[in-house]
Amino acid sequence: MSNWGNDFKDKVVIVTGAASGIGYETAMKFWEEGAKVLATDINYDACEKMAENKENMVALKVDMGNGDDIENMIDTAMDEFGDIDVLVNNAGINPFAPLVVQSEEDWDNVMNVNAKGLFLAVKEVIPIFIQKKKGNIINVTSIMSMVAGFGQMPYNASKGAAKLLTQGVAVDCAEYGIRCNAVAPGMVETGLTTNMFKDDQRRAWFVEKIPRSRIGKPEDIANAILFLASDKSDYVNGTTLVVDGGMIATRG
């Protein structure tokens, strides 16, 4: 039985970074709940495979560092489904490396995808939401938007920008019936963290720091995203929902 009733029946949802991990789980959960889903990623083949033989799911190749791709993403959703109800900005990159070896190009790439791309996607969808006096934006940030992690300085900065952008959109657009919130995952088993958890000792070190005593799963984050997109969170706006098993609570 569905946890969300008819909250997402025939709603049009865009999910970026949908080829794997959190994005994949999120796109699938929305679709299973009856939504019409535009699943986008720079890895088009994986998105196409996910959407294969699924009515009301369309795959699209989108580089979130490319403004033209983002504009086309919004246009494609309107062309395919005639409307947009929810935008989930999930796509992100994180080239783990100490600051001393990171380049200007590394900084630009991370900020373009994780911050500028998010801004452009919001800018493109807002006029549609304003016209209908309703819309919902969920940005996937990170607990690294609140605390620093070694070898992640550009990522920290980009996710901090995404967190404050979330609040800014919520304030600027509330009068139009638009809500904007963020989900901040902690340690989650995704493509970005695969190498980090290969070593059993390192994995155990992280688990020890998580009061919930386990690494998160993509579905943990997807469930939080669906909550923020649902009618059950109607009075939630401009907030960041931390989903980390209590890890950030141990940082003081």
pLDDT at residue 1 in the model: 47
119 vs 65: CA distance, rounded Å: 11
**Whole-prediction pTM:** 0.94
176 is catalytic: no
Q: How far is CA 144 from CA 36, 94, 153, 179, 186, in A?
A: 31, 11, 9, 23, 8
In a domain, 20, yes or no: yes
Enumerate residues 6+ apart whose C-beta is below 8 A from 197. 189, 203, 206, 215
% the chain with pLDDT above 90: 76
As given in the structure block, the two tokens for residue 15 are: 């999910």
Q: Return the CATH number at 153.
A: 3.40.50.720
* Residue 252 in this model has a pLDDT that exceeds 60: no
* Lowest-pLDDT range of 25-34, 92-101, 137-146, 174-183: 92-101
* Residue 153 in this model has a pLDDT that exceeds 70: yes
188 vs 6: CA distance, rounded Å: 29
The alpha carbon of 97 is separated from its chain's Cα centroid by a whole number of angstroms, namely 23
In a domain, 5, yes or no: no
In a domain, 208, yes or no: no
Backbone φ and ψ of 54, nearest 5°: -115, 110
Number of domains in the chain: 1
pLDDT tens-digit readout, 205-220:
788 888 898 989 999 9
In a domain, 112, yes or no: yes
* Residue 200 in this model has a pLDDT that exceeds 70: yes
In a domain, 74, yes or no: yes
In a domain, 157, yes or no: yes
Confidence band of 196 (pLDDT split at 50, 70, 90): low
Average pLDDT over residues 134-160: 91
- Residue 99 DSSP one-character state: G
217 vs 239: CA distance, rounded Å: 22
Instruction: Please name the residue that has the structure tokens 């493509």.
Output: 191
In a domain, 49, yes or no: yes
Please tell me which residue in 44, 155, 176, 235 is annotated as part of the active site: 155
pLDDT at residue 190 in the model: 78
Q: Domain range for residue 55?
A: 12-190+217-242
In a domain, 90, yes or no: yes
User: 65: buried, middle or exposed (CB in 10 Å: 19+, 13-18, 0-12)?
Assistant: buried
Pairwise pLDDT comparison (168 vs 97), residue with the higher score: 168
